[in-house]
Amino acid sequence: MMTIKLQIVIGLAILVVFLILVNMIRRRSLELKYALSWFLVLCALFAFDCAPRLLIVVSEFLGIYAPVNMIFFLGFCFSLVIIFSLTVALSRMSNSVRTLDQMVALNEKRLQELETELKRYKKEEN
């Protein structure tokens, strides 16, 4: 079902992706919080890569005929979960941006007013 060569290639690919993820977190371009789910995927893939029999066992357990169908199905479900969590995060983010934007605008207004008041005050002092 899977040659040893393919297993090694896939294993190496997983390792490379893992290193890229770690490096991105190290450089702070990826939040650890959001990387956790991807680490989970990598772990699952690695487990299946090391023991391909697992695939058959799991798909039989779930009552799915072909292991490949199970991969498609689970992958699809997992993608949906990630996309959904992204829209939730996006909603929260856009609310924060709105509040920040409004506060910046109002503070700038306040600052301008204080500046003109200060100028007038200084003029009166002289």
Q: Could you give phi then psi for residue 27, rounded to 5 degrees?
A: -85, 5
Q: Give CA separation, 9 vs 15, 40, 58, in Å.
A: 10, 20, 23
Exactly one of 53, 92, 109, 120 binds other proteins (CB under 8 A); that residue is: 109
- Beta carbon nearer to other proteins, 109 or 120: 109
User: Is 102 an interacting residue with respect to other proteins (CB under 8 A)?
Assistant: yes
User: Is 90 an interacting residue with respect to other proteins (CB under 8 A)?
Assistant: no
Least Å distance, CB 108 to other proteins, is 6
Site size for other proteins, by CB under 8 A?
A: 9
**Stretch of 6-14, 46-54, 76-84, 95-103 contacting other proteins, by CB under 8 A:** 95-103
**Beta carbons of 48 and 55 less than 8 angstroms apart:** yes
What three-state secondary structure class fits 63? coil
- The DSSP element (H or E) to which 33 belongs, if any, is helix 32-50
Residue 30 DSSP class = S
Interface residues toward other proteins, by CB under 8 A: 97-98, 101-102, 104-106, 108-109
